[in-house]
Amino acid sequence: MKIGIMGAMPEEIAPILEKVGEYKSTDIADNTYYEANYNGVDLVIAYSKIGKVFSTLTASTMIHHFGVETMLFSGVAGGINPALKIGDLIVADKLCQHDLDITAFGHPHGFVPGGSQFVETDASLRKLAFDVAKEMGVALQGGTIATGDQFVHNPERKAFIESTFSADALEMEGASVAVVCHSLNVPVFILRAISDTADTDASFNFDEFMESSAKISADFIMKMVERLER
């Protein structure tokens, strides 16, 4: 079983690379992929760079070039659901693209013909996450994550995403990775730790909490990897 572990930013995969220790680096399409074996499980690790286009490229490369059979994404998100505090973990049940808009032609937000408004993640990976959380005594919430090519930092945009998609959190890569994996029949799991509340100036709390929340998410992902079949 070969597992892909993606983040969007270097900080999101640094704790994972540190944990695996040794790895082989390969450069493809202006990005670096790290192959490692952790506890007998073959891993391919990479950060995609921010946004839906780069994350699509990385997920596709992991699957087509490296033969990844299961995809795990670890990173940070802006919280929408007030129950989610900074540092809390959210597992995506389903994801949508909040900035995909052909409503001009009568379609709902986030929908294009041939696609679907929401894409679901793998139920058995989600179950594994909740088993691991219980074992660790960690609070884990499931919910809807909205993805778009925008760092959301104003209350109006946040309110639009909440009311249109009933989203609990938002970020910039999850839905594109999920669409790629869904299309290619690769089970996908998206985990995010809350870094900010998506309604204030980015400089306010993002940098302060991004690194610590990224580590919370990465550490949890590695606990899941320890439980995956070799």
Can you give the binding site for ligand ADE, defined by CB under 6 A? 76-78, 151-153, 170-172, 195-196, 198
Taking the complex as a whole, the smallest distance from the CB of residue 109 to ligand ADE amounts, in Å, to 17
Taking the complex as a whole, the smallest distance from the CB of residue 152 to ligand ADE amounts, in Å, to 4
- Of the residues 12, 99, 171, 173, only one is catalytic, namely 12
Residues in CB range of 81: below 8 A, 6 or more apart? 141, 143, 168, 169
**80 near 40, Cβ under 8 Å?**
no
Is residue 12 annotated as part of the catalytic site, yes or no? Answer: yes
- Is the CB of 130 or the CB of 204 nearer to ligand ADE? 204
- Is the CB of 77 or the CB of 225 nearer to ligand ADE? 77
d(CA 176, CA 112): 14
- Of the residues 22, 131, 196, 199, only one is catalytic, namely 196
H or E segment to which residue 192 belongs: strand 188-196
Task: Give the amino acid at 22.
Answer: E
Taking the complex as a whole, the smallest distance from the CB of residue 113 to ligand ADE amounts, in Å, to 27
β 24-28/70-79 pair status: unpaired
Q: What angle do CA 153, 157, 162 make, to 5 degrees?
A: 110
- Is the CB of 109 or the CB of 153 nearer to ligand ADE? 153
Extract the tokens encoding 66: 């490296």
Q: Which residue has the tokens 């087509």?
A: 64
- Is the CB of 29 or the CB of 53 nearer to ligand ADE? 53
Is residue 131 annotated as part of the catalytic site, yes or no? Answer: no
Catalytic residue numbers read 12, 196
